[in-house]
Structure 1
Amino acid sequence: MKDNVSVQGTAHSDRIHDSAIKHVTGRADYTDDIALPTGALHAYLGVSDVAHATLKSIDLSAVRAAPGVVGVLTAEDVPGVNDISPTGLNDEPVFPTDKIQFHGQPLFAVIAETRDAARRAAERAQIDCDVLPHALDPIAAQEAGYPYVTKPLKLERGDIAPAFKTAPNRIKGRMSVGGQDHMYLEGHIAFAIPGEDDDVVVHCSTQHPSEAQHMVAHVLGVPSNAVVVNVRRMGGGFGGKESQMNLFCAVAAIAAKKWNRAVKIRPDRDQDMTATGKRHDFVIDYDVAFDEVGRIQALDGSFAARCGFSADLSGPVTDRALFHADNAYFYPNVRLTSHPMKTNTVSNTAFRGFGGPQGVIAAERIIEEIAYATGQDPLDVRKANFYGGEGRDLTPYHQTVEDNILDRLVSELEDSAEYRQRRQEIIAFNADSPVLKKGIALTPVKFGISFTATWYNQAGALVHIYNDGSIHLNHGGTEMGQGLNTKVAQIVAEAFQVDIDRIKITKTTTEKVPNTSATAASSGTDLNGMAALDAVRQIQARLVDFAVETWGVAPDEVVFRANEVHAGAQVFPFDAFIKQAYLARIQLSAAGFYKTPKIHWDRDKGQGRPFYYFSYGAACSEVMIDTLTGEYRVERTDLLHDVGRSLNPALDKGQVEGAFVQGMGWLTTEELWWDDTGRLRTHAPSTYKIPLASDRPRIFNVNLADWSENRELTIKRSKAVGEPPFMLGISVFEALSMAVASVAGYTTCPRLDAPATPERVLMAVTRLRDGG
């Protein structure tokens, strides 16, 4: 077969998101839009109002007597195993039996005729418990002797002890990095319909249908083949719907089977935010040795994380923080350790970047410290420490960096953003401006692509061609607005050389593709695109054999081209050719499969190749702060990001823009705050501030490195785009730091923790002015 001319909507071309018009017109169907069967019930969670306690009893008599209530669910009503731990540690009950471990923990569920009735009835419960001391953050947990929720990790290469003794300069510091709420537009929701025997069908908003399937089967005590999980689309996920949907699916399914009626559960925003996990907060201690020009000689880093009451995904999240604590920089001698601390808070979970951003910002703070200590432009210190060349290409986890393009990427952005000239202009502006101060920073990112749990790096797909030539596409990935379905359809369209409109993208369902991995780790297109292509190639091989046998042509004379199939001199419209193949009894369906090659990881040794390849990017941001109030705005941002050979530049640019703004929000306005009782006070849009349209940079230039091409055999030589650009928002944080440092003549690295709210900016300015 030969490659052919392009057709409408194939790969490497701009293509509108397949649901874009439906999104803006309100015609896109979500789980909450599914029509309820007659007799459907509604569930709502009853939750704890203390952070830590011994649970003595729960009196639900008033709840059961409330109007419209059909019944309640407690731990005693779980027919299978009372656990929804995604890692199998048996530490996350659906409902607790003896201990309350965080404020807002679900204790029971009310099942009623209406959602309002269930919600009101849940307030009537009488909880008897003995309150215990609690620890809310990782440092308090360490001081209280709390255990790790999962096994910590150590990455080590070289020998830091002699390097610390001989290096001419050394700095120790601590940085606190806040968490982040996912704040998806569509909250958690699950809708279960009971079937005959053990069967149940669950419609829900999850990034991991197979895990939801397994968890529902686990709590019901039935095999996985009795449970079907369907996901048409999500209104945002960002990692928050990877494991956190398990609770809602389990409650809906248990209730549906218990009362043999369809059951729907949709918490309000407050309960969604208090009962589900978030990005991990970190407290990072670092000890760095460096020479006179700022080149790092040794680094000792300690990463303590607020994990919550159970492990959830804290193990791999804190692992990935260490994997990215080098960011773009080579550490000759390094030791990095994680401390995944148990706390009396909701269990934190996956969030875009999966711990990587917390590692990257630590690397950038260390570079910043060195720059102020040596009196240099931080960009020069960054460049001096870049990976590059033999002997400076080995990561702390012993993977060789083979595809480094940061020198070119950063240099191009430095020129196009006029970084050097603008930095001098800003320094001059600050010298003459007593109140308003500006800052500018250019930061890089190197981000590893693959699940560090190696077995997740697999995917399946199912492709049917019907006898009219229409194509049905199904794969194991989930669509949450990122355009995954559009990209995979483009891949199939290009392979068959047909217009994309011929392809029907259907809901993700465990009935069609089993044992799927979560749509996470930026791997959705890498994995599912390759699986879909494998299915297409199987069908094409059969069609070629059919043409060879039927028309007596050579295999290389059978060509798919522009909605046609050429068999030597004969040319058939695609649908006519498929009709003939059908009549000849050629199988027109295939299940495709893909597993990522080359990767391996030995966690006990802290060595291996956990990532198939790296994605790169760079951002230059300029800010202005008011030193009297701490308020600030982002004046300009220039982004240059590497997506390899882009499958869809329009969608990829949208992902880069959105990731940057979300990363900026994490480091500026999005502050999670618990009061002394352990209650989350930032539990609604009224108290938790995500970036608004007015917060975006006033000048926003976003470009893809169109010269880049993945060295590895990824789908069409593209690179992942979901997570890596999130860390470009660090450029705003670093620019704020420069603006703050200007009040003391750029002689001291500001003690600026994240998020850098106006309050924190003002406090940092005040400390520097006071000489602190």
Structure 2
Amino acid sequence: MTTHSHSTGHQAPAGAAHAPHPHESAHLHVAGEATYVDDMPPLAGTLHAALGLSERAHAEITALDLSAVRASPGVVAVLTAADIPGENNCGPIVHDDPILAAEHVQYCGQPIFAVLAESHDAARRAARRASVDYADLPAVLTPEAAKRQQAYVLPPMHLKRGDAPRALAGAPRRLAGEFRVGGQEHFYLEGQVAYVAPREDDTLQVWCSTQHPTEMQRVVCHALNLRSHRVVVETRRMGGGFGGKESQSALFACVAAVAAHRLRRPVKLRLDRDDDFLISGKRHGFHYAYDVGFDDDGRVRALKLEMTSRAGFSADLSAPVATRAVCHVDNAYYLSDVDIQALSGKTNTQSNTAFRGFGGPQGAIVTEYLLDTIARELGQDPLAVRKRNFYGRGERDLTPYGQTVEDNVLPELVDELEASSGYWRRREAVRAFNADSPVLKKGLALTPVKFGISFNVAHYNQAGALVHVYTDGSVLVNHGGTEMGQGLNTKVAQVVAHELGIGLHQVRATATDTSKVANTSATAASTGADLNGKAAEDAARRIRTRLAAFAAARFGGSPEAVEFADDTVRVHGNAIAFAELASQAYQARVQLWSDGFYATPKLHWDRLSMTGRPFYYFAYGAAVSEVVVDTLTGEWKLLQADLLHDAGDSINPAIDIGQVEGAFLQGMGWLTLEELWWNPDGRLMTHAPSTYKIPATNDCPPVLHTRLFDNRNREPTILRSKAVGEPPLLLAFSVFFAIRDAVASLADHRVAPPLVAPATPEAIMRAVTATRSPRGVPGEGRTAPAK
């Protein structure tokens, strides 16, 4: 029997905001009527594009014969790098990412040319007929190899606080070792797709599945030597993004745009799933080398940490990923003396990119691993050790990067979850089960989350919106954020309806469009509702202020006393329908539309010293997971999960609970099921659903309790809510450490199993073998006393 329980932690009031309204497109999704880029009716004369991909991980192109491609049935044109009139680059930060490879290739799957044909199938078939000669070059495939060769896509990042070497030397206990976590494929339901139509006067209309329409506008202009006002990018919705469509959608938008501009015909480029896997970047996998000092109570005295990521062949978004990783190493814990380095290893693999959490999960998990290991070393319960290391209030509240933790609610949140989940009772039950079960072993873990909210680059923290009130009282809102299933448009519409005192059915959000709101930031870093909700609130408030002034002038009283609620405006003893007031205001020539703008306050960051206030506030959470592991096969099952997450004063509890549960399961996939594997030639072998597995229905726990913590944001965010896109992914740490706990029971919890992520059955069996032989397995995350 499956049990699911959902609770917001408080009674939500009726109205547009702080209520569990359905997703604005839910009825379209279930009916199959929600339009994605690939669903658009084809424009007359549309050509279809396909990409020819490299067969080598690192090589010079010595000969390229495309005659057979051009002669293929249905082919209209073939484009190479030489056909790009502007800059052959789609890198978002560093200009090191070619749209089409020219003289050499840097990973297996890199696009070399584009085929334009009358049909999708014709283009794909033709792309496979190219003849390419290569002169192979040495390939670097792992972050460890990149580190050995000092091959990096960026200069190393270094954060120091206190005197870590001295504190390490003086610590009563000390452990050193290695750990690693793998990458993760985004596996969005809708693959990468762009559709470009040439318009009059050398302009382009671009429809693109992207989280960053402004960036797509910019890179298309660079590729074609056009000014921004000649390119319009529109995104109605995405079938998932998770970060994979922030910067990586650029290559496909550029290819389609160059082809459409050159051939003066509409061009559509839709990737098949295999090509999507092979071309696009993933979550960065990390390798860690650590040296940690601690006392007899398990309190960390010092940490020296070197994190090396698999960046891939180009910089892409590795810089912000590394920055965020550094700024989340502390997670929920006070670290007095640290020496943290982040190295972005240059590898001949896909250029890795943003993925839900944006480096934060990779930074936080290593400290959770260390505390779990310390607990095994001391023979104590890991939860007790974790709680002793929590941030304090008024003391022990300064992060390694210099930001004071002002809104800490973890002690109350963890205590609440500890009690509601029956942690200590279940701990004894797990011990009793394991004592009588020689093969199947249960494990239990409670892990916390502290996650910073804001872009690390201050100027990205801004947003704009347009709100139109029509004379019938209906409202249209446009903002710079993008909808990828997370409910952003729903929340923004709720904000506008709340501000104007009207029903949610009166408000509609339109497609994101660079010709309506310009210079937008990516919908990423969990800031979508924070930024765009505030901008829309500002626009709606300006209109309400005008309407209040008009109503007071017509009916008497002061503008400040005018009330907007329940589709009615109450002024000086009079009640008038909102629609009627809008109509009267129009006739009196009162402006019924407005722009709005928001810039997040208090943020500053010094990227050289890696200090400042990179986050406006923190979101918190905790999870308890219970698993059972078969120690003969490495198979495992999640039996129960209890999730408690801080979404502030939730704008929409139903959407937020969905985000918490979705993020938890996606994080569980990253840490347990989803394994990326390249063969020795550098070819990604897990490039389809047949070889790459994500969590499915059967992987959901039979008992799942999800609640939102009752905690109004102390900062004046939009309706005092908190971001909820990325932080809950870290709740999945509890699953990984519950598996580790089950394996540790083989040695009465006195050995720290050398479990690495993803904890596949093979990885679990290696950890089982090493735990039964406590000397460990070199290179598998072994923990040993430092010399």
Structure 2 length as normaliser, TM-score?
A: 0.96
Distance in 1, Cα, partners of 2:291 & 2:16:
50
Q: 2:173 aligns with which of 161, 169, 176?
A: 169
1:105 aligns with 110
Structure 1 runs of 4+ with >6 Å offset: none
The residue type equivalent to 2:448 in the other structure is P
How far off its partner does 1:715 sit? 0.4
How far off its partner does 1:8 sit? 7.0
Q: Are 1:770 and 2:773 counterparts?
A: yes
Q: Name structure 2 gaps, 5 residues minimum.
A: 1-11, 777-787
Q: 1:84 aligns with which of 90, 93, 112?
A: 90
1:3 aligns with none
Distance in 2, Cα, partners of 1:105 & 1:161:
43
The residue type equivalent to 2:767 in the other structure is A
Q: Is the 8 A contact 1:58 1:126 kept in 2?
A: yes
Q: Deviations over 1:669-713 (max 9, x none)?
A: 0000000000000001110000011001121000011x2010001
2:554 aligns with 550
Q: 2:396 aligns with which of 392, 397, 401?
A: 392
| Secondary structure class of the residue paired with 1:179 | coil
Distance in 2, Cα, partners of 1:574 & 1:346:
54
Q: 2:35 aligns with which of 29, 32, 52?
A: 29
2:714 aligns with 711
Q: Is the 8 A contact 2:13 2:19 kept in 1?
A: no
Q: 1:68 aligns with which of 67, 74, 78?
A: 74
2:723 aligns with 720
Distance in 2, Cα, partners of 1:52 & 1:518:
31
Q: Is the 8 A contact 2:159 2:341 kept in 1?
A: yes
Q: 1:617 aligns with which of 612, 616, 621?
A: 621
2:142 aligns with 137
Distance in 2, Cα, partners of 1:591 & 1:214:
23
2:344 aligns with 340
1:152 aligns with 156
How far off its partner does 1:429 sit? 1.4
Distance in 2, Cα, partners of 1:761 & 1:288:
25
Map residues 441-590 of structure 1 onto 2, 5 A cutoff: 441-590=445-594
How far off its partner does 1:427 sit? 1.3
Distance in 2, Cα, partners of 1:139 & 1:557:
66
Q: Are 1:269 and 2:263 counterparts?
A: no
2:323 aligns with 319
1:734 aligns with 737
Q: Is the 8 A contact 2:464 2:520 kept in 1?
A: yes
Summarize the Cα distance change of 1:751–1:34 in structure 2 as closer, same or farther, 3 Å threshold: same
1:758 aligns with 761
The residue type equivalent to 1:63 in the other structure is V
Distance in 1, Cα, partners of 2:717 & 2:317:
27
Q: Is the 8 A contact 1:8 1:500 kept in 2?
A: no
| Secondary structure class of the residue paired with 2:200 | coil
Distance in 2, Cα, partners of 1:482 & 1:391:
37
Q: Deviations over 1:474-533 (max 9, x none)?
A: 101111111110011001001111011111211111110001111110010000000000
Summarize the Cα distance change of 1:61–1:316 in structure 2 as closer, same or farther, 3 Å threshold: same
Q: Deviations over 1:38-79 (max 9, x none)?
A: 110000000000000012231111111111000011111101
**What CA RMSD, in Å, does the superposition of the two structures yield over aligned residues?**
1.1
| Secondary structure class of the residue paired with 1:439 | strand
How far off its partner does 1:770 sit? 3.0
| Secondary structure class of the residue paired with 1:172 | strand
How far off its partner does 1:9 sit? 5.0
Q: Is the 8 A contact 1:7 1:563 kept in 2?
A: no
Q: 2:703 aligns with which of 678, 699, 705?
A: 699
How far off its partner does 1:143 sit? 2.2
Q: 1:749 aligns with which of 735, 749, 752?
A: 752
Q: Are 1:362 and 2:366 counterparts?
A: yes
Distance in 1, Cα, partners of 2:114 & 2:317:
25
Map residues 601-640 of structure 1 onto 2, 5 A cutoff: 601-640=605-644
Q: Are 1:117 and 2:133 counterparts?
A: no
Q: Are 1:52 and 2:55 counterparts?
A: no
Distance in 2, Cα, partners of 1:549 & 1:626:
76
The residue type equivalent to 2:531 in the other structure is L
| Secondary structure class of the residue paired with 1:359 | helix
Q: Are 1:242 and 2:246 counterparts?
A: yes
Q: Is the 8 A contact 1:200 1:257 kept in 2?
A: yes
Q: Are 1:350 and 2:383 counterparts?
A: no
Q: Deviations over 1:241-280 (max 9, x none)?
A: 0011001100111111111110000010000011001000
Q: 1:17 aligns with which of 23, 28, 37?
A: 23
How far off its partner does 1:179 sit? 0.3
Map residues 144-223 of structure 1 onto 2, 5 A cutoff: 144-146=149-151, 148-223=152-227
Map residues 605-684 of structure 1 onto 2, 5 A cutoff: 605-684=609-688
Summarize the Cα distance change of 1:701–1:222 in structure 2 as closer, same or farther, 3 Å threshold: same
The residue type equivalent to 1:124 in the other structure is R
Q: Deviations over 1:325-368 (max 9, x none)?
A: 11000011111110011100010000000000011110100101
Q: 1:284 aligns with which of 275, 278, 288?
A: 288
Distance in 1, Cα, partners of 2:139 & 2:21:
52
The sequence identity of aligned pairs, in percent, is: 57
Q: Is the 8 A contact 2:147 2:308 kept in 1?
A: no
1:258 aligns with 262
| Secondary structure class of the residue paired with 1:624 | strand
How far off its partner does 1:726 sit? 0.2
Distance in 1, Cα, partners of 2:435 & 2:40:
61
Q: Deviations over 1:176-217 (max 9, x none)?
A: 100000001000100000011220001111000100111111
Q: Is the 8 A contact 2:237 2:484 kept in 1?
A: yes
Q: Is the 8 A contact 2:48 2:116 kept in 1?
A: yes
Q: Are 1:96 and 2:93 counterparts?
A: no
Q: Is the 8 A contact 1:463 1:474 kept in 2?
A: yes
How far off its partner does 1:224 sit? 0.9
How far off its partner does 1:7 sit? 9.8
| Secondary structure class of the residue paired with 1:639 | strand
| Secondary structure class of the residue paired with 2:673 | coil
| Secondary structure class of the residue paired with 1:736 | helix
1:597 aligns with 601
Q: 1:382 aligns with which of 383, 386, 399?
A: 386
Distance in 2, Cα, partners of 1:201 & 1:685:
33
How far off its partner does 1:30 sit? 0.5
| Secondary structure class of the residue paired with 1:461 | strand
Distance in 1, Cα, partners of 2:150 & 2:480:
42
